[in-house]
Amino acid sequence: MAARYEVTASKYRPKTFDELAGQEFVVSTIKNSLVNSQIAHAYLFSGPRGCGKTSAARILARSLNCEKAPNGPCGLCDNCRAITQGASMDVIEIDGASNNSVNDVRQIKDEVLFPPQAGKYKVYIIDEVHMLSTSAFNALLKTIEEPPPYICFIFATTELHKVPATIKSRCQQFNFRLIPVETIQEILKKICAENNIQAEDDALFWIARESTGSMRDAFTLFDQVVSFSAGANGINIRSDLIREKLGIIGLEKLNELSLSCVENDGQKSFALTDEILASGVAIEQFVIDLTGYYRSLLLVKNGVTRESLLGYRPSQFCAKTLETLDSIRLEQALDILLDCYRNIRYSVSPRFDLETAISKLTWLTKWVSPIELKNSIDAAKSALARGGSFAPSSNTQTVEPRSVPAAAAAVAENTAPKTQPSGDGRSLTDEFQKMLAAKEKTSTNNNADDDDDVPMWNNTSIKSGKENPPQVENVLSVIPGTVIS
């Protein structure tokens, strides 16, 4: 008869404090209290899901009733084996979500009057304690504050803010942290070695990263990957197989898509988007992966090289995308994608929102931020204050979009940018000059001497015709994309 299958999360649940991963502060503190016999009457374990709160509570319960080891359970004595099997009458584990009434707490108050049968302590482990009602918490206060000397309460919760302050003040609090990606990856490597499973490092790293610091989530995802990775030659966990089976976008596709965007190739960008969606990737997952990609680019741009934060090695990202986009434009890309994710939930067609976001990313290199525009205007004001001028060239040509610093430098150095008039033979400069000439004529006829009718051009007189001052051209040339003549 085949052995009964046991999920990895249960099979490799920590049985001692040394096996509790990523919680060094909690382990060292509780070990010291056990060695010095400084046992509190109530403990409160809080932290994210899957980081070892319930496991630590069970290990502490076994340590308190172990017959041999002074600072941790031996796992061999009768008490340790009974608690591990769930057959001990001295360790009562209660689900706070389904036993949250005053009557349930009243039953606990009646039971604590009876001493333990086999061990030294009678331990109550209440999981998800934040689910207790307000009346139940109030009924438990006196029992927690002054319990019999053989009673120990261990509370576990994922939502510490829902636990009343009156309960917190009566407990020793331990905050459990998320487990680092590197630690989860090393544990998965050991499990693969023990079970003769071949696995790529990138595949295990992806599992560890997707678990977001939860060891239980990592074990659950690992079991799923192992299920579809089995073949004739045994189990072989590969990154490409994970992407194929779970509908995940690979880094190669993301690099290719970002490259087409920085090259302003809308046709290729939409073709890649359609190809990725046709492979079975959900639109929400597409936006999530693409957002994470640009977030990693922003971190790399700011000097972050830690692989656990980036998800990949820095050298694996598209070099041209990193070279072309600065931090401001990467932040704008993130804003576009985050807005897209919020909008697709209420959209008529989520794909339309996704394609609109991709279209915005294709002209991201031409986008001018408000701070850059402000710097350009400040540079134009400085040039006008100095009274700079230039002689317009008779040759005209198309002005390519320039960066804001380059435009500001052109104004400061009184360099005349070459331009091309608009299609109807008129330019913005001509129209602006006509408007100023008309304003000056009206001002002369009305004998307006107050400052309100004087043009704000550093007290420079503005004439009509071909002798108009070049400061007008300076102002218009600073604004990116403006056509002047």
- The answer to whether residues 18 and 55 belong to one domain is yes
pLDDT for 354 equals 94
- The answer to whether residues 231 and 258 belong to one domain is no
- The answer to whether residues 378 and 452 belong to one domain is yes
Average pLDDT, the chain: 80
In this structure, the strands spanning 91-95 and 122-127 are parallel
Given pLDDT bands bounded at 50, 70 and 90, which one contains residue 468? Answer: very low
pTM of the full structure: 0.67
Number of domain units in the chain: 4
* Residue-wise pLDDT tens digits, 69-96: 777 788 788 888 888 888 888 898 998 8
* Residue-wise pLDDT tens digits, 312-333: 888 889 999 999 999 999 999 9
Q: Which of 224-228, 324-328, 436-440 is predicted with the least confidence, judged by mean pLDDT?
A: 436-440
- The answer to whether residues 189 and 291 belong to one domain is no
Is residue 3 assigned to a domain?
no
- The answer to whether residues 24 and 143 belong to one domain is yes
- The answer to whether residues 120 and 70 belong to one domain is yes
Which residue, of 246, 262, 291, is where some domain finishes? 246
- The answer to whether residues 189 and 333 belong to one domain is no
pLDDT for 251 equals 85
- The answer to whether residues 207 and 123 belong to one domain is no
Range of the domain at 125: 8-175
- The answer to whether residues 331 and 459 belong to one domain is no
CB 79 within 8 Å of CB 67: yes
Is residue 2 assigned to a domain?
no
- CATH number of the structural domain spanning residue 296: 1.20.272.10
Given pLDDT bands bounded at 50, 70 and 90, which one contains residue 484? Answer: very low
Q: How many CB atoms lie within 10 A of CB 328?
A: 14
- The answer to whether residues 431 and 345 belong to one domain is no
CB 146 within 8 Å of CB 20: no
